[in-house]
Chains A and B, each alone.
Chain A
Amino acid sequence: MITMKMNGVEVKAEEGWTILETAKFYGLEIPTLCHHEGLTPYGACRLCLVEIGEGPRAKLVSSCTYPAEEGLVVHTDTKRVVQARRMMIELMLSVAPYSKTIQDLASKFGVTRMRFKIRNEECILCGLCVRMCEEQMDGKAIGFQNRGYQRKISTPFDLRSEECRLCGGCIYICPACQLRCQGPQAESALCNACLTMDPTCLDYYDELQCWMYDAGRCGTCVREKK
């Protein structure tokens, strides 16, 4: 058993757990996007950032990839963490403005501005589809190409892959290309409808009638709006 301190509370983790797994076990919420329980951790979306260490040596790490260590001091929601997270959401939003998952995240974390030019690429290169194809579907039909700003996900040589069995696993797991935000201002990129909704939905609509057809899963309706 590994003992560490999380948000001031002493927690115990199994050998081989990550910080994220430990936090989940104790019911501490850390937002994730490129993480999936059935796939290997990757650390691309940087949403699950937490602050580790104390004093001047404190730094931010992605909790999905960082292993639980004896005596580690973790803070999951410091100002530093939230600021970095919000910038990550803003960056993702500027490349995939129609994604409902990301729009919801924006609402949840109060990202109300998008200061970058929209580049509607829809893909945020979180790598979920690549890992899904390789690890769960045993396909290895898609992968990353190039690096830096030219990076993209495609089949080898951009040709139809013989490995691909059209299983749809990649589409199923994609957080960006499938679910479209249906909010009133989705077309103008950042709608924040969930954030500004007044009154909050659960007070007025039951699960079936959630106007987002999302049964309140976006989580914003529990936000206090005064």
Chain B
Amino acid sequence: MKRVKKFKNVEELRKTIDEQEASRQQEKKRVIVVSSGTCGQARGSLKVIEALKKAIREEGLKDQVMIRVTGCHGFCEAEPNIIIYPDRIFYQKLTPPDVRTIVKETLVEGRVVEKFLHRDPLTKERAWYENEIPFYQKQKRIVLGDNVFVDPTSLMEYLSIGGFRPFLKALTRMKPGEIIDTVKQSGLRGRGGAGFPTGIKWEATHRAPGDIKYIICNGDEGDPGAYMDRSVLEGNPFRVIEGMMIGALAIGAREGYIYVRDEYPLAVRHVTLALEQLYKAGLLGEKILGTDFSFDLHITKGAGAFVCGEETALIASIEGRVGEPRQRPPFPAQKGLWKKPTCINNVETWANIPLIILNGADWFSSIGTSGSKGTKIFSLVGKINNTGLVEVPMGITLREIIYDIGGGIPEGKAFKAVQTGGPSGGCLPASMLDQIIDYESLTAAGSIMGSGGMIVMDEKTCMVDVAMYFLNFLRDESCGKCISCREGTQRMWEIVKDITEGKGQPGDLELLEELALATKEASMCGLGQTAANPVLSTLRYFRDEFEAHIYDKRCPAGVCKSLIRYAVIPEKCTGCEACKRACPTGAIQGTRKDVHLILYDKCIKCGACLEACRFEAIEAQREEAIAIVREVKP
């Protein structure tokens, strides 16, 4: 890490940025970029880095090659991956021994190692370079793109990509009103979920009476399967902080808080390191760069309550009270943290600000649809080939995200639904695949943009089970203040659980709808008001599945354990014993080359045998059907 010196005035910082940028352009060394965010580390990127260092040392390439450890690049499926600059050769899914081969072949002898290249799941073609990979081609990575170029723990690296130029521009050449106008004209809307225009929020906080104002960065990302904010904070914390500093200039705040959940240790570490360096560099604290602008930034760790992502609950949590939402108005812009005007924005929103200030409002508003501007990061997870973070312009269709970027559904299965917006969002069926993505059209379709979770489901997913999963999450994560939300989610969960267990009754769906509507209408905060969405959207698009569970006692996808029973089809079974080895309870009997048998009293219906069988000889049958057959022929 390059040492940080204290910048005394604006000129000094400008000079350093120029120098750093120039030195990056003149860099003669080859650079190996290793993606090492939380996802990379989970898949062993730290060991890859060790092996890489060792191999380079042994080959004597230390002076010609530089290793840059960065945050997540978004392509989680391919972790741990490396990109070799300047050619941008992309190697994926590496293990420490692979690294030796790459160093020898590519760095020493200048050959590309085919087997580590990315292979498209649909066309089966190998892509040599990073920009040839379909996953990256359709994206517009204005926020995430820089993750590749910076070591998130080094301020100097951030300066070398032109970091803090937007801040300098805002500090020296713009009045608060101009900054707010630029943000307003850009059409940026809150990326946390509700999509409130950021400029209007800033203006309200700016205009609110009072000397002391606060700004907050909301990094309490709690949706299952979503990790956009984590990757931005891990991969480029300086960008977020710079956005907040510009916000502080515009709003007139002297103090700010970054609220990150403690479950994101790497994000917490990178933000803490960034803050330390910025204080050392004199970019935070009293009289920044010799001007009248003073700004203090603190990090607050959340204890992992989903509801603390709601702004009033988050403020309560920073103040040290129980994370419970309160009635708005008064809005945080009028009375927020410690009852002072407070502007609270999502991580991604803050990260967009420096780009808007640098490139202008027109550049930003040229991307996207009429009502929703810019790009949005989605975490594309579930039954999808290219799992990862995708940053796409607003107005792209679901089909483009799932098939062109995501590479379709694994194992040739059919697409069934995509769940957007986390637990507060909804499930959209295949008929909605050509739906464009922006705030309004997703809401009209019965889902929400949310913070950007996107869970893809294939034909083997039971939608009743999905609704139950999200309701279970919500009944646990509701703060419990409003009876509508606390009891509403609990009762909805009970009803849906009964349905999955085959105890559903006629009238359940009507009651479920009535209750869902009441929960939506009567709750105080966003959590309760959207808690019914998983139920309402699955009922809207997959009502037949609910009805099959209730009236036929049948789970069409073969998921709900109480309604299915695994059985061996004798004609197809080859007696390979694969299922027997996979069974955790020893419920499968049979010798080699003999048709196997599942002992029902031992079977826990985990489905491991179904996964293990290569001959489709195991089938999820209707529990009741078997019972009836048994009765007929005793």
Asked if A147 and B480 make an inter-chain contact with CB atoms under 8 angstroms apart, the answer reads: yes
Assuming the contacts A84-B521, A88-B518, asked whether A117 and B494 have C-beta atoms less than 8 A apart, the reply is: yes
- Is the C-beta of B515 less than 8 angstroms from some C-beta in chain A? yes
Asked if B518 and A149 make an inter-chain contact with CB atoms under 8 angstroms apart, the answer reads: no
- Is the C-beta of A112 less than 8 angstroms from some C-beta in chain B? no
Q: State how many angstroms separate the Cβ of A13 from the closest Cβ of chain B.
A: 14
| Cα A146 to Cα B491 with chains together (Å) | 18
Which of chain A's residues has its CB closest to B498's CB? A117
Interface-forming stretch among A4-12, A44-52, A188-196?
A44-52
Q: With a CB–CB cut-off of 8 A, which chain A residues contact B489?
A: 148-149
Asked if B483 and A149 make an inter-chain contact with CB atoms under 8 angstroms apart, the answer reads: no
Q: State how many angstroms separate the Cβ of A138 from the closest Cβ of chain B.
A: 18
Asked if A44 and B483 make an inter-chain contact with CB atoms under 8 angstroms apart, the answer reads: yes
Q: With a CB–CB cut-off of 8 A, which chain A residues contact B490?
A: 148-149
Asked if A84 and B329 make an inter-chain contact with CB atoms under 8 angstroms apart, the answer reads: no
Q: With a CB–CB cut-off of 8 A, which chain A residues contact B494?
A: 116-117
Asked if B486 and A88 make an inter-chain contact with CB atoms under 8 angstroms apart, the answer reads: no
Interface-forming stretch among A63-71, A159-167, A210-218?
A63-71
Interface-forming stretch among B221-229, B385-393, B470-478?
B470-478
Asked if B491 and A92 make an inter-chain contact with CB atoms under 8 angstroms apart, the answer reads: no
Asked if B486 and A148 make an inter-chain contact with CB atoms under 8 angstroms apart, the answer reads: yes
Asked if A43 and B327 make an inter-chain contact with CB atoms under 8 angstroms apart, the answer reads: yes
- Is the C-beta of A125 less than 8 angstroms from some C-beta in chain B? yes
Which of chain A's residues has its CB closest to B515's CB? A87
Q: State how many angstroms separate the Cβ of B324 from the closest Cβ of chain A.
A: 8
Asked if A147 and B330 make an inter-chain contact with CB atoms under 8 angstroms apart, the answer reads: no
- Is the C-beta of A124 less than 8 angstroms from some C-beta in chain B? yes
Q: With a CB–CB cut-off of 8 A, which chain B residues contact A95?
A: 487
Which interface residue of A44, A84, A148 has the most chain B CB atoms within 10 A?
A148
Q: With a CB–CB cut-off of 8 A, which chain A residues contact B305?
A: 147
- Is the C-beta of A151 less than 8 angstroms from some C-beta in chain B? yes
Which one, A69, A87, A148, contacts B476 given CB within 8 A?
A: A148
Assuming the contacts A69-B329, A149-B486, asked whether A84 and B480 have C-beta atoms less than 8 A apart, the reply is: no
- Is the C-beta of A136 less than 8 angstroms from some C-beta in chain B? no
- Is the C-beta of A80 less than 8 angstroms from some C-beta in chain B? yes
- Is the C-beta of A173 less than 8 angstroms from some C-beta in chain B? no
Q: With a CB–CB cut-off of 8 A, which chain B residues contact A67?
A: 329-330
| Cα A37 to Cα B305 with chains together (Å) | 32
- Is the C-beta of B524 less than 8 angstroms from some C-beta in chain A? yes
Q: With a CB–CB cut-off of 8 A, which chain B residues contact A115?
A: 511
- Is the C-beta of A186 less than 8 angstroms from some C-beta in chain B? no
Asked if B483 and A88 make an inter-chain contact with CB atoms under 8 angstroms apart, the answer reads: yes
Asked if A46 and B486 make an inter-chain contact with CB atoms under 8 angstroms apart, the answer reads: no
Asked if B478 and A92 make an inter-chain contact with CB atoms under 8 angstroms apart, the answer reads: no
| Cα A80 to Cα B329 with chains together (Å) | 22
Asked if B488 and A91 make an inter-chain contact with CB atoms under 8 angstroms apart, the answer reads: yes
Q: State how many angstroms separate the Cβ of A207 from the closest Cβ of chain B.
A: 33
Q: With a CB–CB cut-off of 8 A, which chain A residues contact B514?
A: 87
Interface size on A, residues (CB 8 A): 38
| Cα A193 to Cα B474 with chains together (Å) | 36
Q: State how many angstroms separate the Cβ of B305 from the closest Cβ of chain A.
A: 7
Asked if A91 and B477 make an inter-chain contact with CB atoms under 8 angstroms apart, the answer reads: no
Which residues 324-343 of B have a CB within 8 angstroms of A? 326-327, 329-330
**Tally of contacts, chain A with chain B, CB under 8 A:** 101
Asked if A46 and B480 make an inter-chain contact with CB atoms under 8 angstroms apart, the answer reads: no
| Cα A49 to Cα B481 with chains together (Å) | 15
Asked if A91 and B487 make an inter-chain contact with CB atoms under 8 angstroms apart, the answer reads: yes
Which of chain B's residues has its CB closest to A60's CB? B521
Asked if B521 and A146 make an inter-chain contact with CB atoms under 8 angstroms apart, the answer reads: no
Asked if A148 and B483 make an inter-chain contact with CB atoms under 8 angstroms apart, the answer reads: no
Asked if A65 and B486 make an inter-chain contact with CB atoms under 8 angstroms apart, the answer reads: no
- Is the C-beta of A61 less than 8 angstroms from some C-beta in chain B? yes
Which of chain A's residues has its CB closest to B511's CB? A115
Asked if B307 and A88 make an inter-chain contact with CB atoms under 8 angstroms apart, the answer reads: no
Q: With a CB–CB cut-off of 8 A, which chain B residues contact A65?
A: 326-327, 524
| Cα A136 to Cα B508 with chains together (Å) | 44
Which interface residue of A80, A125, A147 has the most chain B CB atoms within 10 A?
A147
| Cα A69 to Cα B330 with chains together (Å) | 11
Asked if B522 and A146 make an inter-chain contact with CB atoms under 8 angstroms apart, the answer reads: no
Q: With a CB–CB cut-off of 8 A, which chain B residues contact A84?
A: 484, 518, 521-522
Q: With a CB–CB cut-off of 8 A, which chain A residues contact B329?
A: 66-67, 69
Asked if B483 and A147 make an inter-chain contact with CB atoms under 8 angstroms apart, the answer reads: no
Asked if B521 and A148 make an inter-chain contact with CB atoms under 8 angstroms apart, the answer reads: no
Asked if B524 and A43 make an inter-chain contact with CB atoms under 8 angstroms apart, the answer reads: yes
Proximity bits, A193-208, B CB within 8 Å = 1, else 0: 0000000000000000
Q: State how many angstroms separate the Cβ of B473 from the closest Cβ of chain A.
A: 10
Which interface residue of B487, B522, B524 has the most chain A CB atoms within 10 A?
B522
Which of chain A's residues has its CB closest to B475's CB? A149
Asked if B522 and A148 make an inter-chain contact with CB atoms under 8 angstroms apart, the answer reads: no
- Is the C-beta of A25 less than 8 angstroms from some C-beta in chain B? no
- Is the C-beta of A62 less than 8 angstroms from some C-beta in chain B? yes
Asked if A151 and B482 make an inter-chain contact with CB atoms under 8 angstroms apart, the answer reads: no
Q: State how many angstroms separate the Cβ of B619 from the closest Cβ of chain A.
A: 34
Asked if B475 and A88 make an inter-chain contact with CB atoms under 8 angstroms apart, the answer reads: no
Which of chain A's residues has its CB closest to B524's CB? A43
| Cα A222 to Cα B362 with chains together (Å) | 66
- Is the C-beta of B479 less than 8 angstroms from some C-beta in chain A? yes
Which of chain B's residues has its CB closest to A44's CB? B481
| Cα A43 to Cα B483 with chains together (Å) | 9
Q: State how many angstroms separate the Cβ of A11 from the closest Cβ of chain B.
A: 19
Asked if B479 and A147 make an inter-chain contact with CB atoms under 8 angstroms apart, the answer reads: yes
Q: With a CB–CB cut-off of 8 A, which chain A residues contact B483?
A: 44-46, 88, 91-92, 124-126
Asked if B475 and A49 make an inter-chain contact with CB atoms under 8 angstroms apart, the answer reads: no
Q: State how many angstroms separate the Cβ of B302 from the closest Cβ of chain A.
A: 14
Which one, A88, A126, A144, A150, contacts B522 given CB within 8 A?
A: A88
- Is the C-beta of A120 less than 8 angstroms from some C-beta in chain B? no
Asked if A146 and B480 make an inter-chain contact with CB atoms under 8 angstroms apart, the answer reads: yes
Q: With a CB–CB cut-off of 8 A, which chain A residues contact B484?
A: 46, 84, 87-88, 91
Q: State how many angstroms separate the Cβ of B348 from the closest Cβ of chain A.
A: 26
| Cα A95 to Cα B307 with chains together (Å) | 24
| Cα A41 to Cα B327 with chains together (Å) | 10
- Is the C-beta of B447 less than 8 angstroms from some C-beta in chain A? no
| Cα A88 to Cα B519 with chains together (Å) | 9
Which one, A41, A46, A148, contacts B479 given CB within 8 A?
A: A148
| Cα A126 to Cα B480 with chains together (Å) | 10
- Is the C-beta of B414 less than 8 angstroms from some C-beta in chain A? no
- Is the C-beta of B122 less than 8 angstroms from some C-beta in chain A? no
Q: State how many angstroms separate the Cβ of B513 from the closest Cβ of chain A.
A: 11
Assuming the contacts A148-B475, A149-B486, asked whether A116 and B491 have C-beta atoms less than 8 A apart, the reply is: yes
Which of chain B's residues has its CB closest to A91's CB? B487
- Is the C-beta of B500 less than 8 angstroms from some C-beta in chain A? no
- Is the C-beta of B277 less than 8 angstroms from some C-beta in chain A? no
Which of chain B's residues has its CB closest to A49's CB? B522
- Is the C-beta of B523 less than 8 angstroms from some C-beta in chain A? yes
Which interface residue of A46, A61, A124, A126 has the most chain B CB atoms within 10 A?
A46
Q: With a CB–CB cut-off of 8 A, which chain A residues contact B475?
A: 148-149
Q: State how many angstroms separate the Cβ of A25 from the closest Cβ of chain B.
A: 20
Assuming the contacts A87-B515, A91-B491, asked whether A125 and B480 have C-beta atoms less than 8 A apart, the reply is: yes
11 A/B residue pairs, CB under 8 Å, sorted by A: A46-B484, A65-B524, A91-B488, A91-B491, A115-B511, A117-B494, A146-B480, A147-B305, A147-B480, A148-B474, A148-B490
Which of B's residues lie within 8 Å of A, judged by CB? Answer: 305, 307, 322, 326-327, 329-330, 474-484, 486-491, 494, 511, 514-515, 518, 521-524
Known: A46-B484, A87-B515. 5 other contacts (CB 8 A): A43-B524, A45-B483, A88-B483, A147-B479, A148-B474
Across the A-B interface, the 7 shortest Cβ-Cβ residue pairs: A151-B480, A87-B518, A65-B327, A91-B487, A149-B490, A84-B522, A148-B478
Which of A's residues lie within 8 Å of B, judged by CB? Answer: 41-46, 49, 59-62, 65-67, 69, 80, 83-84, 87-88, 91-92, 94-95, 115-117, 124-127, 144, 146-151
